[in-house]
Structure 1
Amino acid sequence: MNQASLECRHISLSYGTTPVLRDIDLRIEPGEFFALLGPSGSGKSTLLRLIAGFNQHQSGELLVDGQDISGVPPHLRNIGMVFQNYALWPHMTVWDNVAFGLVERRESRDAMRRKVGAVLDLVGLAQYARRRPAQLSGGQQQRVALARTIVIEPRLLLLDEPLSNLDKQLRVQMREELKNLQRKLGLTTVFVTHDQEEAMTTADRMAVLDKGILQQVGTAAGLYDYPHNRFVAGFVGTANLLEGEVTAVSADTLTFHARGLGPLALARPAEPPAIGPAALAFRPHQVSMRPRGEPGDGARVWLDGLVESAEFLGEFSRYRVRVGEVALTSDQPHYAGRGMFAPGAQVRLGLDPAQLRYLDR
C-alpha cells in the first residue's frame, strides 16, 4: 500500500451564510493513523467528506503528496471510504461486495481472484466469501466494508464513525483489529469519531474540532495532559475547571483567585501564566481525598469540602465534593475492603501543583 501525506491549508467551507469549517490548517503524515474528534456538529464528518470529494471547500487547498486535489472528482482521487452504515450490497455475496470496485475498474478475472482472496484472508473472512451481508454479524459486516475499500489499494483510507453501530464489547475488539490492520498495511488513515476513548486508544495523533474550528492537534497523552483551552480540557477526558484570575506571580509562588473559592497560593510553574483572567484545570484522578482532620502531605494544596454524592464505578469511586461555592470531582481507586466516603462526609481534597494547568481561553 502507498503511504500518502495529506495536508489541509487554510480550508474553509460554508453552507450558505453558515460557516461549517473555519480556516482548517492540518498535516497528516504518511502512514499515520489520525483521528478527527469532536461533538456532533463540530465539522469532523464534513471535513472527512471534503477529503473524499463529496464536499467542496470555498477557500484553501487540499493536498495529497503535495498535489492539490481540490478540483478532482471523488472517483478519480483513489481515496477509500468506509461509511458509518457500511453501505454493503444486500443481494451480493461477500466476495462480490469486495470485488465491486475492481469490477468498476475493469480488472482482469485473475487479478480480481488474487486481490479479493488476499484481502479476505487479511480480514479473516475467507470462509464467508459466499455468504450475504444479512448472514453476518455487525463486526463481520464492518470487515467486509473494510476489505471492499482496501482491495482497490487507495492512497488514503477514510473511516466515518466506523465502530458506532457495534455494542461496547465488540467495539473494543474491533478497534484493536482495526489498529492492527492499519499497522500491517501502513495505509494513511483518517477516522472520524465522537468517542474520545476510541480516538485515544487507536490514533497516533488526533485533531479536536468544535464549531468548525481546529482547537488542538497532538497525541492522546499530549492533549490530555496539556490542553490548550477549556474546550479541549473538558472534551478529552474529564476535568475540573476553576474559573478565576491570576493576581500575582513571584519567584516561587503564584496566587490564583478562584471564583467562589477564594485565593489559592500555589507553587509557581516553570512557565507561569500572565496576570489576568484564567481557568485552572485538573483531572479528577489527580485529586487526593482524605477524612477531615487527617494531615496531608505538604506538597499539595489542601481544601476542606463536603461530599455531596458518591458513585461506585468498579475500578474507582467518583465523588462530587462541595468546596466553598464550587463543586469538584474526585476519582479514588477502589480496593476490596476499603469503605467509601458517604454523602455528607467532611473531607479534604489535595491538589498537586505540578498537575494544574492554567488556561487563558
Structure 2
Amino acid sequence: MKKVSVECRNIRLAYGKTEVLKDINLVIEPGEFFALLGPSGSGKSTLLRLIAGFNQQNSGQLLVDGADISHVPPHKRNIGMVFQSYALWPHMSVWDNVAFGLVERRLPKAEIQEKVQSALELVGLEAFATRRPNELSGGQQQRVALARTIVIEPQVLLLDEPLSNLDQKLRVQMRQELLALQRRLGITTIFVTHDQEEAMTTADRMAVMDQGIVQQVGTPANLFDYPCNRFVANFVGTMNMLEGQVQERSANMLQLHIDGVGLLKVPLVDEGSVPEQNRLAASFRPHTVQLESGNMNKGNDARYIWIPGTVIRSEFLGEFTRYEIQCGEKTIIADQSHYSGLPQHTVGAPISIGIEPTQIRLLPI
C-alpha cells in the first residue's frame, strides 16, 4: 500500500458567524501516526470529519498525496474512519460487518472472502467471525470496527476518540495494539483525542488545538519540553507558572521579579528564544525540581535556583508524591519520586525548592 501525505492549507470553517476552524495549516507525513489533541470544542473532531468529507471548509485546500480532494465526495476519497461509537450493524455477524464495505463495492465473492479473512486475522478475531456485536467485549467491538475500515484498504485511517468507551486498563492495551497495527500496515493515521497520555504514547507527532487554532505542532517530547505558550504548557502535562516583571535583560541572564515571591535570576542559554514582553511567566514541570527539608541558605549553589516555602498539601500517588508548597504568595507543585523507606515531607514543614535553570521556560503572559 502506498503511503500518502495529508496537507491542510489555510483551511477555514465557520457556521454562520461562529468560526470553528481558523486558518489551519498542517502537513502530515506519509505513514505517520499523527494526533490531534485538544479539549472539547477545540475543533479537532471537526477537522477530522472535514478530512473524511463530512464537513466542507469555507476556504482553503485539503490535499491527499498532493491532490486537492476538497470537493471529492466522502465515498470517493478512499479514507477510512473509525467512530467513537464504532457504529457496527447489530443484526449482522462480525464477518458481515467487516465485509459490508466490500459488498457495497460489488467485489467478487472470492476476493471478499480473502480480504475479510486477512482483516480478521490482523485484528485477532478470526475465531469470532460468526458472533454478533452484542456478544463481544468493548475491545473486541473496536477491533471489528478497525477491521471493517482497513479491509477496504484506505489511503488514510481516521480515528475519532476510539478508546473513550473503554476502561483504563483496556485503553492502554488497545492503544498499544492500534499503534502496532498501524506500524504493520504503514497507513497514514490521524488520531483525535482529548487525552494527552494517549496522544503522547502513540503519536509520531501531534498538533495541540484550542478554539479552532493549531497552537503548536511537534513530537510529544518537543511539545512537553518546549511549549510555545501557556495553553500548550498546561494542556500537555502539569506546569508551574510564576508570573513576573522583567527587571533586567542581558546576553546570558534575565532578572524577573516574581509577584509575591521576589527576584528570580534566570540564566539564558539562547537569548533569541526569550519572548520580548515585559511580563513573562517562568514555567517549569513539577518533576524537575529538587526538594530539601528546611529553608536553608542555598545562595552558593550554582546548580539550582532555591526558593523557600512551606508544605501545604501532599498526595501520595504510588510512583510519586505530589506536594503543594506555598512560596510567598505563590503555590508551587512539586513531584518527588517514591521508593520504599523514603520519608515524606509533612504538611506545615518548611522546605526548599530547587529549580534547575535549564528546565525553566519563559513564556508570554
TM-score, length of structure 1 as denominator length: 0.98
| Corresponding residue for residue 352 of structure 1 | 356
- Displacement of 1:281: 1.0
Question: Aligned pair 1:286/2:325, yes or no?
Answer: no
Which position in structure 1 is the counterpart of 2:319?
Answer: 315
The Cα shift of 1:295 comes to 6.0
Tell me the residue number matched to 2:336.
332
Shift of 1:261: 1.6
1:36: which partner in 2?
Answer: 36
**Match of residue 211 from structure 1:** 211
Look up the match of 1:85.
85
Supply the AA of the counterpart residue of 2:20.
V
Work out which of the residue numbers 307, 310, 333 in structure 2 matches 1:306.
310
Aligned Cα RMSD in Å? 1.1
For residues 1-361 of structure 1, the aligned pairs below 5 Å read 1-271=1-271, 273=274, 274=276, 276-294=278-296, 296=298, 297-361=301-365
2:199 is paired with a residue whose SS is helix
User: 2:364 corresponds to which letter in structure 1?
Assistant: D
Deviation sequence 1:71-120 (CA, Å, 0-9, x none): 11111111000000100000000000000000000010000000000110
| CA distance 1:206–1:170, shift in 2 (3 Å) | same
Distance 1:277 1:295, change over 3 A: closer
CA distance in 2, matches of 1:53, 1:250: 52
Moved more, 292-301 or 91-100: 292-301
Distance 1:156 1:11 in 2: 19
Distance 1:245 1:157 in 2: 47
Runs of 4+ in 1 over 6 A off after TM superposition: none
Query: Using a 3 Å threshold, how does the CA distance of structure 1 residues 18 and 293 change in structure 2: closer, same or farther?
Result: closer
SS at 2:98 equivalent: helix
Q: 1:57 and 1:277 mapped to 2: Cα distance?
A: 38
CA pair 256-151 structure 1, distance change in 2 beyond 3 A: same
Aligned AA (1:134): N
Contact 2:313 2:325 in 1 (8 A): yes
Amino acid at match of 1:351: I
Output the amino acid matched with 1:304: P
Unmatched segments (≥5 aa) in structure 2: none
In structure 2, give the amino acid aligned to 1:287. Answer: V
Counting matched residue pairs gives 361
CA distance, structure 1, for counterparts of residue 196 and residue 338 of structure 2: 24
User: What displacement does 1:247 show?
Assistant: 2.2
The CA distance in 1 between the partners of 2:258 and 2:178, in whole Å, is 44
Q: Which amino acid aligns with 1:307?
A: V
- For the residue of structure 2 that corresponds to 1:330, the secondary structure is strand
- Does the CA-based 8 Å contact 1:247-1:275 persist in structure 2? no
**What residue identity is the alignment partner of 1:116?**
V
SS at 1:231's partner residue?
A: helix
Query: What is the rounded CA distance, in whole Å, between the counterparts of 1:125 and 1:141 in structure 2?
Result: 10
For residue 233 of structure 1, give the secondary structure of its aligned residue in structure 2.
helix
Q: Find the aligned partners of 2:295 and 2:283 in 1 and give their Cα distance.
A: 26
Q: Distance in 1 between matches of 2:28 and 2:347?
A: 48
Deviations 1:252-292 (A, max 9, x none): 42201112222212222322523612111100001111111
Aligned CA distance change for structure 1 residues 325 and 271 (closer, same or farther; 3 Å): same
Instruction: Report the CA distance shift for 1:320/1:60 in structure 2 as closer, same or farther (over 3 A).
Output: same
> Displacement, 1:293?
4.3
Which residue type is aligned with residue 162 of structure 1? P
Distance 1:187 1:217 in 2: 20
SS of 2:271's equivalent in the other structure is: coil
- The answer on whether the counterparts of 2:251 and 2:271 sit within 8 Å (CA) in structure 1 is no
Paired with 2:34 and 2:11, the residues of 1 have a C-alpha distance of: 18
Between the aligned partners of 2:127 and 2:354, the Cα distance in structure 1 is 57
Contact 2:295 2:308 in 1 (8 A): no
SS state at 2:166 partner: coil
Match of 1:31, SS state, is coil
Secondary structure class of the residue paired with 1:263: strand
The answer to whether the 8 Å contact 1:2/1:154 transfers is no
Which runs of 5 or more residues in structure 1 are unaligned?
A: none
